[in-house]
Amino acid sequence: MQTLHDIAPLRERLHEHRMAGRSVALVPTMGNLHEGHLTLVDRARSLADVVVATLFVNPLQFGAGEDFGQYPRTLDRDRELLTARGCDLLFAPAVETLYPNGLETQTQVHVPDVSEGLCGGTRIGHFDGVATVVSLLLHLVQPDIACFGEKDFQQLAVIRKLVADLHFPIEIVGVPTVRAEDGLALSSRNGYLSPGDRALAPAFYRTLSRCGDALARGQSPADALAAARQALQEAGFRLDYLELRGPSLAPFDAAKHDEGRLLGAVYLGSTRLIDNLAVAFRPAEAGTRHG
């Protein structure tokens, strides 16, 4: 695997691949890789001739008081993991490479509607930072395909809208969440959890699953969500949000939707965890719900 840090050699190498008629898949990451990231590489490997991973801890998507300075940088280990999974090219630029004129005057990309509420309601400006860096990386790499994890489901929705609205000729592929054996969604931030909090953390997904089952059986969203919120708080989580949305993150409407997406964010200590769950309402219950 080749590692590049500057834009000019990246463009030169990718030009060579395109001239040879090879398809390209992109896997953007912030590094500190785990099996969830590597599953994205596997998916990209199955879809394209050339897999490009990027490693960039993006300051624009961190708010004041968030963990930009503490976010783990593990380049050597990440390179070993990517090489073992068959990644062809790693682009790991410095902040000054992507934002040469500084952050204050950097042009930013705003994706309306889907970036509002949920994580966007708590982390103000976060998705502008995500949309900006993803736009840059899509422009620089110009892949045929880009793979993103479904754990960050709102981020995936933002990127899909970005690509559709700006007519990027790129297929965005969502890859299912990878979980530990106890159900906790894999995340680079799981390493922040104390042993006690790590033992408690799987209760987040179990609660989402019980809520999803209740919704699928026909329990009203208001009652199912209220019970799940109470369960999370009683278990020791500090709730950020727990909501039911439509499949594309529009407000859920029982008269229109037979599927939904349950999304939540909680804190254990200072560590913020996010997760989500697809909810498919059973046809026998759908008629009852729709009246």
Identify the pLDDT of residue 287: 44
Architecture of the domain defined by 188-290: 2-Layer Sandwich (3.30)
Identify the pLDDT of residue 255: 79
Return the SS3 of 72: coil
Beta pairing, strands 238-245 & 259-268: antiparallel
For tokens 């919120």, what's the residue?
229
What's the predicted TM-score (pTM) here? Answer: 0.94
Q: Is 37 a catalytic residue?
A: yes
Nearest partner of 50 among 15, 75, 76, judged by Cα: 15
Secondary structure percentages of the chain, helix, strand, coil, to 5? 45, 20, 35
Identify the pLDDT of residue 61: 96
Domain boundaries, the chain: 2-175, 188-290
Architecture of the domain defined by 2-175: 3-Layer(aba) Sandwich (3.40)
List 37, 139, 167, 290, catalytic entry = 37
Distance (Å, rounded) from C-alpha 192 to C-alpha 286? Answer: 41
Mean pLDDT per block of 10 residues along the chain (291 residues) reads 98 98 98 97 98 98 90 96 98 98 97 96 96 98 98 98 98 98 97 97 98 94 97 98 94 85 97 96 51 35
